[in-house]
Structure 1
Amino acid sequence: MITVSGVELRAGPRLLMDDVAFQVAPGDRVGLVGRNGAGKTTLTKVLAGESEPAAGAVTRRGDVGYLPQDPRTGDLHVLGRDRILSARGLDTVIRDLRTAETAMASEDEAVREKAMGRYTRLDAEFDARGGYAAESEAASIASSLGLPTRVLDQELATLSGGQRRRIELARILFSGASTLLLDEPTNHLDADSIVWLRDYLKTYPGGLMVISHDVELIEQVVNRVFHLDANRAEIDQYNMGWKPYLLQRETDERRRKRERVNAEKKAATLMAQADKMRAKATKAVAAQNMARRAQKLLAGIEGERVTDKVAKLRFPTPAPCGKTPLSASGLSRSYGSLEIFTDVDLNIDRGSRVVVLGLNGAGKTTLLRLLAGLDEPDTGQVEPGHGLKLGYYAQEHETLDVQRSVLDNMRSSAPDLDDTETRKVLGSFLFSGDDVDKPAGVLSGGEKTRLALAMLVVSAANVLLLDEPTNNLDPASREEVLAALRTYEGAVVLVSHDEGAVAALEPERVLLLPDGVEDHWNQDYQDLISLA
């Protein structure tokens, strides 16, 4: 259980929420909603104990399982299986058991005796932590999230970003924590895994708070909705499911509007009467009291909710370039003995639109990193054509310098742009005032997405490499991205699980990984998008 009392949260000087109080008890499945940048991720970090509120208290009873938008996986040389088992400490017990087994085969009797005693104690600890049943449970969760045995037996360093995120989600679900805090848990999941996750969360016996732009997950799972209103710095709590919440919120908005209109009318009448009475000295005190009542009346009502702002995204005309600004031939990439793909050829002509499809781990992100020049292929080469100006959007936001401010990141992307124009562009992406001085590392996933897109806008790129550009975006911001894709005149290479993003791109070609097969786009490939 998590209990919150009198909590105030800030992002620098900006007030995110004030005097907030609520509980997340066993059986509560809370959907935390609100526009990007409203403070959802900041709140979950505070609830998880990863940061402190500006005021107030957070009390936790029982373990908390926290999946942030950018999961930290720790040691990348750990096997995927061991990372999941570490949620209950089983990884170290199993490793120590294997060591003891080896020592029990020693020719030294003293070593054997000591090892046998150690094995007995470890075996009891293994049983106490769930034993083989727990191992089986972990394997079942991993399989349901699209993690086959071959992936679990690999080091995290050899896995794609999507596979590592699935490992972390499996680890947190396996932990058996009394409260789960999940920030965009469906990112990088295929359609079957999302269906399984919905069913799993619907019956989770502990408390749950989830941030998700997957409306179906919210509809099917949550029984409470917390709406974080960025305009009023408050959380509106609704003890009901998603669809009743939407109806009730509209009702509340109409009620607030009526109350404000009535209060403003009454206050205007009182102030008018007070102004008349002030003319007579004998009624000055009464006039003052009447004016005070009018002010109190206005202060006691909530302001009408201002429509949430949305980043305005429009890609400018791309820089001139030759007929084929980017090409690649014979590309192959391996991690140790694990072959990702071999002999991939790709020519990106001016204004062409290509979608890259493949299951998680097929090398989609790896290919984009090779094309962007961030990694070197094992074989083959990437050749820039005449006038190439490349823009790369990384799904893990690796292109952002997390130590530098929002403004400095923008300056690095467009050094010739003066500060006034740079701030103007940032303002259109909802970064204003002191927000531009925040380090990029403290931004939420949605804010990092907005900053990365803003950097693309000022780059005047003629080839965009986009890796899951709609992840972490609220529906309104996602629509802005899709609209910008539809009208962009340059070339695009897109990796996405989002069927709407692929439809907006209107691709001409598809590249299938890991085989490297290229084909003209047709609707037969549509069903592969959500499986990618």
Structure 2
Amino acid sequence: MIILQANQLSKAYGAETILSSIKMEIKHRDRVAVVGRNGAGKSTLLKMIAGELPHDGGELIIPNAVSVGYLPQQAVLSSDKSIWDEMLDEFSDLLAIEQRIRLLETKMGSEETLSNEASYNKIMKEYDTLRADFEARNGYQLEADIRGILSGLQFNGFDYYHTTVSSLSGGQKTRLALGKLLLTKPDLLILDEPTNHLDIDTLTWLEGYLQGYPGALLLVSHDRYFLDKIVNQVYEISRTHSQRFSGNYSYYQEQKALQYERDLKEFEKQQSEKHKLEDFVQRNIARASTTKRAQSRQKQLERRDWMDRPDGLEKSVAFTFPTDQVSGHDVLRVRDVTLQYDDQKEPLFPSSSFHIDRGERTALVGPNGVGKTTLLHMLRGQMPPSTGSFQLGSNITLGFYDQEQAQLRSTKTVLQELWDRYPSFDEKDIRTVLGNFLFSGDDCLKIVNTLSGGEKARLALAILMLKKANVLLLDEPTNHLDIDAKEVLEAALSHFSGTILFVSHDRYFMNQIATKVLELLPSGLTTYLGDYDYYLRKKEEEKERLALDALEQPKTDQEDGAQNESKESFEQQKDAKRKKRQQERRMAEIEELMQQTENEINALETALLQPETYEDHEKAHDVQLALQQANQTLEDLLVEWDECSTDNA
């Protein structure tokens, strides 16, 4: 069932065209990502689809029966209600039905009703109707759904009934707005950067929730790990146009690269043919004996629709992180450190120790509020530890990237800001550096405190690059960067010869960069010697070991039998979970194969309508056979998907 169609959509602001000829189709349960550079028009497209912005041209078709829910990037609730009441805000009609049901239950038990058969039957009829409606609209599950969503979004420590929305932080309000939207379960759920303000545990929960979401998803995100887990279609917005790719984000990247290679080869082949024709015309047009042949070639040149050179990659940032000197082998030693604010009774985390050697790339992970950013500020000398000590090694030059860009709030121009920090450079060199970070021409004259988040991030990276530090402390360095800029940053850090300690919620980025993971929790600090995937595997192993240890505690004879049963039950559960994961992976593979087969069927059906096919009986027969085979393949895949779905229920 198609729930959205966009045909030739366009949008412009003044003389600047933002989007043109946008085509999109979304079916029930599709998972669609919109990707592209910052400023490409992704959020604008989502706003038009959500009805927040009008489109200038084209057609947008959403059936009246389809409900649409939209979460913008800066979704912040403003309310004096409690968390619980805010979550119930969208369900006033359902709550009214529940109140009426309770009232009818009271009436049914009264002597007056019981003594009047007609009255009793009338109440029972209304009661049955309301109960069926309440159940159909998931009323009995509503409270459990609210608790599940609030728990998943890390509101466990809050008193739902008394904590007001107005008392929450900006990030918490954004998470609550996301929770409200998830609770309503619209047919088309539109999310613009939903992973902002979420820690890794919350991201993992959200991925699981969206994978089982009953409707269709349309989202914009710079989190590649998240996109790979969720989406099965990608629409790329580039140079105001859209192009559709099947599969997740990684598959889209592969297909885009292959398509560019194919298009470039076809373009070069056509250009070779064109040059031969032009050369023949030029050499033979004036000769009486060959002029007719030359004229024929000239008409062929004019009639043919020649390809334009395929567009290459759009301009991206380009930089490396050079160093002036090599640090000592022992870069950082932290001993028994705690951090505590003056107004807190307890430290952010217990006494913790760790060390970092030259060349290591260490990711610092943990829940929001545990003190990761504060620890980085301590290491750069902004605040002393509450207890314990730390020591930097020899020949250390520290470079710090601040996620808030707190130092970039001046009224200077971008050019002045960078030049004042590095006055030994001449203007040409400063402009060259800024050009590498996509500040060219008048962009260099923008006022710093008016820059967007992405522009400030690029300026902060330019400042950091010129410092030539050999130890980098990075606090959420991928925030505000588009995917292409993230990939350039990853490449620069991968070739960096120094040492890195960084905080990030970008799991894809961590996998590319980290060689060690420090997990900081309220209970303490643990070191894992590997990348992010290694850290996840070890965490899973720890959970399973703890579960087994709990089963292996000394028991009485009676408890021993129960223990063996529990152990067997645990192993059965483990086996069931493993089989479920295998089935889920197979279902994802089947869905991708189904999409590819549907594309093949569409191409074959189109081919049947072409004169060169239906006028050639043998060719038409071959295409018809291929179409029958593709339809049979699709039917077989649907049967297998249904079987997997039933087994996995």
TM tier, smaller: 0.5 to 0.7
Distance 1:42 1:524, change over 3 A: closer
Q: Where does residue 24 of structure 2 map in the other structure?
A: 22
- The answer for unaligned runs of 5 or more in structure 2 is 100-129, 540-649
Matched, 1:180 2:189: yes
Match of 1:225 in 2: 234
Deviation track 1:257-294 (CA, whole Å, cap 9, x = no partner) reads: 4542343234323423443466589x999989976863
Partner of 2:282: 275
Q: Do the aligned partners of residues 476 and 396 (structure 1) sit closer, same or farther apart at CA in structure 2, a change above 3 Å counting?
A: same
Equivalent of residue 363 in structure 1, options 350, 366, 371: 371
Q: Aligned to 2:367, what secondary structure does the other structure show?
A: coil
Q: How does 1:455-470 map to 2 (within 5 A)?
A: 455-460=463-468, 464-470=472-478
User: Aligned partners of 2:303 and 2:164: how far apart in 1?
Assistant: 64
Provide, for residues 149-200 of structure 1, a one-character-per-residue CA deviation record: whole Å limited to 9, x for no partner.
4386767788777656543432332243443222443456566654543443
* 2:221 paired with 1:197: no
Whether the 8 Å contact between 2:326 and 2:498 is mirrored in structure 1 is: no
Bigger CA drift: 217-226 or 356-365? 217-226
**Aligned residue for 1:423?**
431
The Cα of 1:355 is off from its aligned counterpart by: 4.7
Instruction: Show CA shifts across 1:389-434 (max 9, x none).
Output: 7644344556554998765665676566554333322332344456
Equivalent runs, 1:107-146 vs 2, <5 Å = 133-146=141-154
Paired position in structure 1 for 2:34: 32
Deviation readout 1:31-50 (Å, 9 max, x if unpaired): 22345664434533554456
Q: Secondary structure at the match of 1:19?
A: strand
1:168 and 1:465, CA in 2 relative to 1: closer, same or farther beyond 3 A? farther
- SS of 2:348's equivalent? strand
User: Which 5+ residue runs of structure 1 have no aligned equivalent?
Assistant: 98-123
Q: Which amino acid aligns with 2:401?
A: Y
Distance of 2:472 and 2:166 partners within structure 1: 26
Establish whether residue 261 from structure 1 lines up as the match of residue 264 from structure 2: no
Report which of the two structures shows the higher radius of gyration computed on alpha carbons: 2
TM-score by length of structure 2 reads 0.56
8 Å CA contact retained: 1:162, 1:360 = no
Q: Secondary structure at the match of 1:182?
A: strand
Distance in 2 (alpha carbons) for counterparts of 1:59 and 1:338: 57
What is the SS of the residue equivalent to 2:368? coil
User: What is the match of residue 109 of structure 1?
Assistant: none
Task: Give the partner amino acid of 2:323.
Answer: T
Q: Report deviation, 1:239.
A: 5.9
**Number of the residue aligned with 1:452:** 460
Alpha carbons of structure 1 residues 257 and 148: separation in structure 2 relative to 1, 3 Å:
same
> 1-side partners of 2:416 and 2:388: how far apart?
32
Counterpart of 1:6 in structure 2 is 8
Q: Provide the secondary structure at the position in 2 that maps to 1:333.
A: coil
Partner of 1:114: none
Distance apart, 1:143 and its partner CA = 1.7
For 1:173, the aligned partner's letter is L
State the number of aligned residues.
Answer: 490
Check the 8 A contact 1:466/1:495 in 2, yes or no.
Answer: yes
| Contact map agreement 2:349 2:521 (CA 8 A) in 1 | no
* Identity percentage of aligned residues: 32
Query: Could you say if the C-alpha distance between residues 320 and 47 of structure 1 is closer, same or farther in structure 2, counting changes exceeding 3 Å?
Result: farther
Amino acid at match of 2:23: A
2:309 corresponds to: 303
Residues 512-523 of structure 1: matches in 2 within 5 Å? 512-514=520-522, 522=529
242, 247, 264: which is aligned to 1:235?
Answer: 242
Distance across 1 between alignment mates of 2:365 and 2:287:
81
Q: Which residue is equivalent to 1:73?
A: 76
Over 3 Å counting, the alpha-carbon distance change for 1:467 and 1:240 in structure 2 is closer
User: TM-score, structure 1 length as denominator?
Assistant: 0.66
Instruction: Describe the shift of the 1:314–1:158 C-alpha distance in structure 2 as closer, same or farther (beyond 3 A).
Output: farther
Distance verdict in 2 for CA 1:459–1:79, change over 3 Å: farther
Q: Which residue of 1 aligns with 2:348?
A: 341
Q: Which residue of 2 aligns with 1:113?
A: none
Q: Which amino acid aligns with 2:268?
A: V
- Distance (Å, rounded) in 2 between the aligned partners of 1:177 and 1:216: 25
Structure 1 Cα separation of the partners of residues 14 and 463 of structure 2: 22
Note if contact 2:338-2:347 (Cα within 8 Å) is conserved in structure 1.
no
Q: Would the aligned equivalents of 1:321 and 1:350 in 2 still touch at CA under 8 Å?
A: no
1:237-260 Cα distance to aligned partner (Å, 9 max, x none)? 246667876776566445534542
Contact 1:7–1:20 under 8 Å retained in 2: yes
Question: 1:112 corresponds to which residue?
Answer: none
Residue of structure 2 equivalent to 1:170: 179
**Aligned residues of 1:29 and 1:224 also touching (Cα < 8 A):** yes
Q: Greater helix share, 1 or 2? A: 2
Q: CA deviation at 1:30?
A: 1.3
**Residues 418-454 of structure 1: CA deviation (Å, up to 9, x unaligned):** 5433332233234445655678899887666444323
1:294 to 1:431, Cα distance in 2 relative to 1, 3 A? farther
- What CA distance in whole angstroms lies between the structure 1 residues aligned with 2:46 and 2:451? 13
Q: Partner residue of 2:563?
A: none
The aligned amino acid for 1:453 is L
1:277-316 Cα deviation digits (max 9, x unpaired):
66589x9999899768636746x52432414555333223
Q: 1:371 to 1:415 in 2, by over 3 A?
A: farther
Q: Which amino acid aligns with 1:22?
A: M
Confirm or deny that 1:501 pairs with 2:503: no
Distance 1:67 1:403, change over 3 A: farther
Deviation at 1:226, TM superposition (A): 1.3
**Aligned mate of 2:323, from 306, 312, 317:** 317
Supply the RMSD in Å over aligned alpha carbons: 5.7
Q: Is the Cα contact below 8 Å between 2:30 and 2:233 reproduced in 1? A: yes
Q: CA deviation at 1:524?
A: 11
Contact 1:333–1:377, Cα closer than 8 Å, also in 2: no
CA separation of 1:135 and 1:224: change in aligned 2, threshold 3 A: same
